[in-house]
A and B are shown apart, each in its own frame.
Chain A
Amino acid sequence: MTARPEDRGRLIVQFADHASQIDCTDAALLACLAALLRHCRAGPSDPAALSTSTFEVRPDEGATWLLLKDGCVVDRGFPTPEVVERLIYEVTLALATSCRTSLVVHGAGLVRGNVGLVLCGESGCGKSTLATWLTATGSDFLSDELVALGIDGSAMTGFPRPIVLKSDSAVVGQPWWDPPVPTPIPFPGGRIYLDPEQLRPNSVRAHAGLRVLVFPRYSPDGPLAIHRLTQAEAAYRLMPRLVNAAILADRGFQAVTRLVRAVPAYGLSYTAAAAAVGELNQLWLDAWDHGPGE
């Protein structure tokens, strides 16, 4: 029987054209990381062909942990839950900011059939809540945080790490919500790290055809409203959401304007997630009517 990489103290995760290698000699901690990042692992032949960042978690003083990136200390003195959160954050950041072949956006990726939809927006706009809701009710999940969009606007790739929800999230208490399987460790602030397959088995997908961009905005007192954005409005909203702009030609400007010419974009203002999901489902139906995608 072949040893899995984590049995040798190593885990490799991938997003688009970049990989991150995580070295950790503590079997329990590595098993926790492997469980949390299980949908993001690099394929068996991929890592050698990819550019790679290397992270290492070492025991530190007083039962805490030391975190290194490419041999340099990121920080030290982490209790276990904090080092897991910080490592996932640092790995996500390294993967996102190192990608040269796609536009990486801060967004959630969902798909029905092969009609891919990206919810693009800043923290707090409801990406994770809507992604949870949509996954539970039949959409496939690519990511709640990072999506790589092909420069030609035809394809999208997700980073399917766990969905991160606040303990008082609007999804808790919904009919489809079962108390999630406890994560191996309690995270600070009662945050929930939810494997999308806890919501619906086999719901994780790696790729989809990109068909619709949506810019959601949670508006506690406003009416539910969805409207088609002009191409210029879409470019204006998309540019600040680019995570890897610093390493792209023109900071991704030409690629963004090319993309918004090819992909319709909408602004969505909502108060109740259930109502927003209804609007998004209608967008899917409309996109499907114009062709089922690649």
Chain B
Amino acid sequence: MHDSDRPRRAPGFQIDDLDGEAVLFHPVKLTIMHLNRSAALIWRLCDGQRTLGEIRDLLSDAYPDAAPEIQTDVQRVLQMFLDNESIAIVRPGPVDDRQA
């Protein structure tokens, strides 16, 4: 995964906040995940607009004391989401010369 990748939440998932943590559930695929506070926040930030690097910077700015952990956690959590197909990665396509 690259810093320029834009993770986007996959459709069909339901999320329920439970006392700061969350449970993510897909009623057709029957995928269920327990998300701690930071994972729940990262999933919500996966809007297909923000890049991985921007998500990491956003969280590091919000939680400066945890910045070193955030550097690795964001990548790890996004990889977990990717493995569970709860996000997809949006990558910029090749530049089309005809549109340039």
Contacts and interface: CB of A to CB of B under 8 A. Distances in A.
A232, A235, A253: residue with the most chain B Cβ atoms closer than 10 Å: A232
B3 interface: no
A150 B79 CA distance: 37
A251 B27 contact: yes
A230 B16 contact: no
Contact of A236 (B14, B19, B30, B33): B33
A253 B36 CA distance: 18
B23 A257 contact: yes
A235 B18 contact: yes
A261 B30 contact: no
A51 interface: no
Interface in A111-127: none
A251 B32 CA distance: 12
Contact of B18 (A240, A251, A257): A257
A233 interface: yes
Tell me what chain B mostly uses at the interface: helix, strand, loop, or mixed.
strand
A257 B34 CA distance: 12
A107 to B, nearest CB: 18
Contact of B32 (A230, A236, A250, A261): A236
Interface residues of A, number: 15
Interface in B8-23: 14, 16, 18-19, 21-23
Contacts of B19: 230-232
A264 B30 CA distance: 24
Contacts of B30: 251
Interface in B22-74: 22-23, 25, 27, 30, 32-36
Given A232-B21, A232-B22, A236-B23, A257 B16 contact: yes
Interface of B: 14, 16, 18-19, 21-23, 25, 27, 30, 32-36
27 contacts: A230-B18, A230-B19, A231-B18, A231-B19, A232-B19, A232-B22, A232-B23, A232-B35, A233-B21, A235-B18, A235-B34, A236-B23, A236-B33, A236-B34, A239-B23, A239-B25, A239-B32, A240-B32, A250-B14, A250-B25, A251-B25, A251-B27, A253-B16, A254-B16, A257-B16, A257-B18, A261-B18
Interface of A: 230-233, 235-236, 239-240, 250-251, 253-254, 257, 260-261
Given A230-B21, A257-B18, 18 more contacts: A230-B18, A231-B18, A232-B34, A232-B35, A232-B36, A233-B34, A235-B23, A235-B34, A236-B23, A236-B32, A236-B33, A239-B25, A253-B16, A253-B23, A253-B25, A254-B16, A260-B18, A261-B18
